[in-house]
Amino acid sequence: MSHATIAPLPATPAPAAGPLPLQGLRVVEFSHMVMGPTCGMVLADLGAEVIKVEPIEGDRTRHLLGAGAGFFPLFNRNKKSIAIDLRHPEGQAVARKLALSADVVLQNFKPGALAKYGLDYAGLCAENPRLIYVNHTGFLPGPYEHRTALDEVVQMMGGLAYMTGRPGDPLRAGSSVNDIMGGMFGAIGAMAALMQRGITGRGQEIDSALYENNVFLVGQHMLQYAVTGQPAAPMPERISSWGLYDVFSVKDGEQIFLAAVSDAQWNTFCEALGFADLQADPLLATNNDRVRARATMLPELRQRLASRTAAELSELFERNGLPYAPILRPEQLYDDPHLNATGGLADITLPDGERAGQTARTTLFPLRMDGQRLGVRLQPPRRGEHTQALLEGLGYTPEQVRALHDGAAVA
């Protein structure tokens, strides 16, 4: 059986059964790819009714290959789908009516893309001054605001790729970190605006941007330079804050990360492994001493640990309360005992592609509320799966719904 289709273990806690924090909130999402859908997913997981507006042909993210194959099923759970042709006058009217029914509208298209349909904040807030409108963009307003941004683009220009790769070899992080976090910051802004609306009665426009998100992520390295006068080195060449804090190659070619970030942990490490000579060495007495001695200390430790297995070291570090980590690949996490025991994975039904209708396991929002995980209430939707029900909810008669379908304003 594929790891992606393993059934949940009996120990998996049930998702929260009571009212969720954002229950009763309506969110209309004009988005694609990762950033906007992440914002919508966060709000949906927290209980909001999130309505994803797709083009008639469907969100192109549904059919991406390779690294993009997981985008749609991950970031679009707990949402409803309505397919609308915004180029069609009647489709524009439907979209506007839907947007005006919302508490929150979010979008992640190029600046001005929705303004031509009257679906930008200025075009909606006059009729609904309580509306909260979240823009997900490449850059906040300024000299760069009209540039086309991607996660790679901002990682390269914002110092993150430099910090991740080896010197002279900038490397993007191995996940869509800015897209995902940019969507999370959009959701944080929306929730803060909802709280403020409860006081003032008015909504507002919010901007979350990839570039500024990336700069926030590397802020610690900027401050390192401001405080020390020394530029931060890329992570593979960094001057570590800790003497023992590295990946070690051990028996049978396995790798494991080992650390001791205090003098007490260093003493425990030496005692557990029988390294009395290192524990007694005055040149290794304090953490800062060990940082200064890394050039000689680490090769010595690598030689001493090379005959140990990763399992043996894991057991030893676990027993002694020391930090350690096996080096795992993403697909191996399906078998992670902690994730399975704590309800960190849940079944979804894939909506598109060759495996449409089949079950896979997805990661859940990484928090608990009232002792429960936030689970999957709605499967990732099929294109336009909720179009008819949503139109009827907006007051369209069955005859009007048929006419919209027949005229291809909706699907």
Give me the mean pLDDT over the 42-48 stretch: 98
Of the listed ranges 14-28, 179-193, 269-283, 297-311, the least confidently predicted one is 14-28
Quote the DSSP letter at residue 252. G
Is the predicted pLDDT of residue 291 greater than 90, yes or no? yes
In this model, does residue 410 exceed pLDDT 90? yes
pLDDT at 65 (0 to 100): 94
* pLDDT tens per residue, range 105-142: 999 999 899 999 999 999 999 999 999 999 999 999 99
- Percent of the chain beyond pLDDT 90? 93
For residue 169, what is the DSSP state? B
Q: Using CA atoms, how far apart are residues 298 and 211, in angstroms rounded to an integer?
A: 37
* pLDDT attached to residue 51: 98
And the tokens for 160? 């993150």
Provide the 8-state DSSP code for 390.
H
Digit-coded pLDDT (tens) for 137-176: 999 999 999 999 999 999 999 999 999 999 999 999 999 9
- For residue 9, pLDDT over 90 is answered with no
Q: Rounded CA gap, 65 and 61, in Å?
A: 9
Of residues 59, 103, 120, 179, which has the active-site annotation? 179
pLDDT of residue 10: 36
- The Cα 405–Cα 397 span in angstroms is 12
179 is catalytic: yes
Cα separation, 81 vs 382, in Å, equals: 7
> What is the overall mean pLDDT for the chain?
94
Name the more confident of 232 and 18.
232
pLDDT tens readout for residues 56-107:
999 999 999 999 999 999 999 999 999 999 999 999 999 999 999 999 999 9
* 361 pLDDT higher than 70: yes
Contact of 154 with 224, CB cutoff 8 Å: no
Band of pLDDT at residue 17, cut at 50, 70 and 90? low
What is the average per-residue pLDDT within 253-275?
97
What pLDDT shows up at residue 6? Answer: 37
Query: What pLDDT, on a 0 to 100 scale, did the predictor assign at position 5?
Result: 40
Instruction: Inform me whether the pLDDT recorded for 14 exceeds 70.
Output: no
pLDDT per residue over 191-233, tens digit each? Answer: 999 999 999 999 999 999 999 999 999 999 999 999 999 999 9
Instruction: Answer for the pair 56, 45: CB distance below 8 angstroms, yes or no.
Output: no
Q: Is pLDDT of 11 > 50?
A: no
With residues binned 3-state (H G I as helix, E B as strand, rest as coil), the percentages for the chain, rounded to 5, are 45, 15, 40
- The total number of residues shown for the chain amounts to 411
pLDDT at 1 over 60: no
User: Taking Cα atoms as reference points, which of 76, 92, 87, 88 lies closest to residue 27?
Assistant: 76
Task: Give the angle 271-293-229 at the CA atoms, nearest 5°.
Answer: 130
Could you read off the pLDDT of 316-340 as tens digits, one per residue?
999 999 999 999 999 999 999 999 9
Domains of the chain: 3-219+344-406 (3.40.50.10540), 240-330 (3.30.1540.10)
Give strand ranges (E) for 327-389. Answer: 345-349, 359-363, 368-369, 372-373
